[in-house]
Amino acid sequence: MRRGRFAPTPSGKMHLGNARTALLAWLHIRSLKGEFVLRMEDIDTERSREKWAKLALLDLRWLGLDWDEGPDVGGRYAPYTQSERLDRYAAGLQHLQAKGAVYPCYCSRADILSAASAPHGLRSEGKAYAGTCRHLTPAERVEKALQKSPSLRFAMPEHRDVSFEDGIAGKQVFAAGSGGDFVVRRADGLYSYQLSVVMDDADMGITDVLRGYDLLDSTPRQILLYEALELEAPAFLHVPLLNGPDGKRLAKRHGGIAISSFRERGIPPERVVGWLAYVSGLIDRPESISASELIPSFNLSLIPREAVVVDIPNL
């Protein structure tokens, strides 16, 4: 049985870009007669809010999407909210420690603050970590531990490229060590996005991960984590992004793109779905259509292979 998922971060209102990824992930798995999972990625407790999580569920259902398992309906792999799954991340980290796949890092707080957030590409993290703490002697680690609690970093293989076949982007090859050693647990105890998403997808039996192109370069990290944890990686499919009129990734800064604003203005969800389907190449003109009507003709080959620049729709 094929199993897909959509995993929003409840740090604000869902917008057209998020909804388009959700729609494509849902259509992909429904067209395969598979099971769809909704998971709430609130591991970044500093940014996540329960009100946004509730609104996301409302927005998705308004668009005509449903799920077989999720935080509001339960399921055999519950819980489906990351903040309730900390014991699983602890178990994964313990496995990595036992294998010697992670090491303590005593570098500055600025180096590790972003670890919990789902990244918009590794370039958003800044320069790759230089490996400063990777080769400390045991004595040096003891001395540094007296001054600061460490984060834990995954040691990227130094002489091995990572390659995989992406279901949309095609063959991908990343050079050894791409992005540098990365944090799996911050010094304050917060688990990273990279570790939590791997544990969650493995625990929930996810076979197909369709998500935005901005996460393509996180995939080598996750593949290496799957291997170190002795878990099977899913198939990955990365969808080129929607960009605003300024050529930048569609985001809240563009204004007028929150799904809830369309609903509150009385715009039928079929008009929003039709626009999302049109900019995704699924239909040849923007017209009202329900999500379920798109399932029979859904084909991955229709999705553009480059980012799509869109005007904010006047629906």
Residue 106 carries which DSSP code? -
pLDDT confidence band for 314 (50 / 70 / 90) = confident
> Which pLDDT value is given to residue 255?
59
> Which pLDDT value is given to residue 5?
98
> Does the structure show a pLDDT above 90 at 121?
no
The answer to whether residue 181 sits within a structural domain is yes
Give me the phi and psi of 148, to 5 degrees please. -160, 140
SS3 302: helix
Condensed to tens digits (0 to 9), the pLDDT of residues 284-308 reads: 999 999 999 999 999 999 999 999 8
Condensed to tens digits (0 to 9), the pLDDT of residues 63-84 reads: 999 999 999 999 999 999 999 9
The answer to whether residue 189 sits within a structural domain is yes
The answer to whether residue 236 sits within a structural domain is no
Q: What is the CATH number of the domain that holds 162?
A: 3.90.800.10
> Does the structure show a pLDDT above 80 at 266?
yes
> Does the structure show a pLDDT above 60 at 177?
yes
Strand partners, 209: 236
What is the mean pLDDT of the segment spanning 172-193?
93
What is the mean pLDDT of the segment spanning 252-272?
87
The answer to whether residue 26 sits within a structural domain is no
> Which pLDDT value is given to residue 252?
66
Condensed to tens digits (0 to 9), the pLDDT of residues 165-176 reads: 999 999 999 998
What is the mean pLDDT of the segment spanning 114-129?
64
> Does the structure show a pLDDT above 70 at 126?
no
The answer to whether residue 50 sits within a structural domain is no
Higher-confidence position of 116 and 104: 104
> Does the structure show a pLDDT above 80 at 31?
yes
264 CB-near residues (< 8 Å, 6+ apart): none
The answer to whether residue 170 sits within a structural domain is yes
For 143, the domain range is 86-197
**Rounded CA separation 73/18 (Å):** 21
> Which pLDDT value is given to residue 245?
83
> Which pLDDT value is given to residue 161?
95
> Does the structure show a pLDDT above 70 at 43?
yes
Number of compact structural domains in the chain: 1
**Rounded CA separation 196/222 (Å):** 10
Strand 170-174 and strand 162-166: the pairing is antiparallel
pLDDT confidence band for 248 (50 / 70 / 90) = confident
Tokens of 51: 């009100």
Tokens of 246: 């300024």
User: What mean pLDDT value characterizes the chain?
Assistant: 92
Condensed to tens digits (0 to 9), the pLDDT of residues 83-97 reads: 999 999 999 999 999
The answer to whether residue 135 sits within a structural domain is yes
Hunting for tokens 């699983």 — which residue is that?
88
The answer to whether residue 68 sits within a structural domain is no
Percentage of residues in the chain having pLDDT higher than 90: 79
